[in-house]
Amino acid sequence: MDWLYPLSGFVVGALVGLTGMGGGSLMTPLLILLFGVHPLTAVGTDLLFAATTKTAGTAIHSKNGNVDWRVAGLLAAGSVPATVLTIWVLSRAPKQSLPLLSPCRLG
């Protein structure tokens, strides 16, 4: 089954390359449903996978002049604090309340 990992990465990478979106909505469920990875581990693994592929994509698009850095900075000004705040809130929430805080619970 080890060959399924790179095949899955290739398929998801091709779809993301064609569309520019969908990696997280594809890779995390694949890890959970196809490979039996624990949902929290699947999310963390997918974040690393996404960071790696997005870094490469960003470098290529930046080199070709396809990145509006001002807009990216403005988006980050809202999304980075929201991400930090969400992780902080979830880390302090009682385990029993987590399903209530997540409308799309995996696993």
pTM: 0.63
Q: Are 63 and 86 within one domain?
A: no
**Does residue 27 sit in the same domain as residue 62?**
yes
* Full domain range(s) for residue 10: 1-67
Do 50 and 61 have their domain in common? Answer: yes
The total of structural domains in the chain comes to 2
Q: What is the pLDDT of residues 81-102, one digit of tens each?
A: 998 998 888 788 777 666 555 5
Q: Is the pLDDT of residue 103 over 60?
A: no
The residue with tokens 């990145």 is: 67
What are the C-alpha distances in Å from 63 to residues 12, 24, 31, 76?
23, 25, 32, 20
